[in-house]
A = this chain, B = another copy of it.
Amino acid sequence: MTELSYHQFCPVAMASEILGARWTIVLLRELWAGSTRFNDLRRGVPRMSPALLSKRLRELEGRGIVERRLVRRNPDQFDYVLTPAGQDLGAVIMAIGIWGQRWVETAPTLENTDAGLLMWDMRRNLRTERLPARRATVQFIYSDQPDGRAEWWVLHLPDRVADLCSVDPGFDVDLYVRCDLRTMTAIWMGLDTVPRARSEDRLSLIGAEDVARGMQDWLGLSPFAAYPKHA
């Protein structure tokens, strides 16, 4: 998409020359969601090669959409943050996501499960203030996933964004969540709910009952979960 211009003055075409490149919109979604570090971005776009990620970031920087900023004067430590122009793309990302939530069929969507990506998204949107304890550990177990992708620990510590581990950090676990990955993905996307899945035995919650009962509440959902499928 570099020199392949549409040669149209229409602003839709001009903008599409930037946004239409492969991976760009998905990357922007991850930046918009809040990731700033290179390896954090990689967790949000795990199937994008680091070479291409680096290339896209430089393109977006050249377009004034992303700013590359030193972290604490540490050389070789960079934050990638959206400029005002990049933040304004939030309206585009929202419009695309809302349309996708409304009109893309759920079956192919739920073929694209990815435990690491789901946990990475969920961790970011946890409403930790709705967790009863000042400190809590929740272990997710995806019964259908292979070793290394099946067990995840989410640690909520006071005054911090939640931590995510794929190896046992050794803390006492307040709640064990066990289900298959599709079920958890569907819940996150607003296509299912914790109470329904639990009552239908697709989801098992073991541990502190108050944490279990509040799960639909403290588990933040996808930014698009609230938009219903088309009638």
A95 cross-chain contacts in B, Cβ below 8 A = 91-92, 94-96
A72 at the interface (CB under 8 A from B): no
A69 at the interface (CB under 8 A from B): no
Q: Is the Cβ of A22 less than 8 Å from the Cβ of B25?
A: no
Q: How large is the interface on A (under 10, 10 to 19, 20 to 34, 35 or more residues)?
A: 35 or more
From 90 to 110 in chain A, residues with beta carbon under 8 angstroms from any chain B beta carbon are: 91-104, 108-110
A207 at the interface (CB under 8 A from B): no
Contact of A16 among B26, B117, B121 (CB under 8 A): B26
Stoichiometry (number of copies): 2
A163 cross-chain contacts in B, Cβ below 8 A = none
- Beyond A12-B29, A20-B20, A104-B14, whether A99 also contacts B88 by CB under 8 A is yes
One of A2-10, A34-42, A130-138, A170-178 at the interface: A2-10
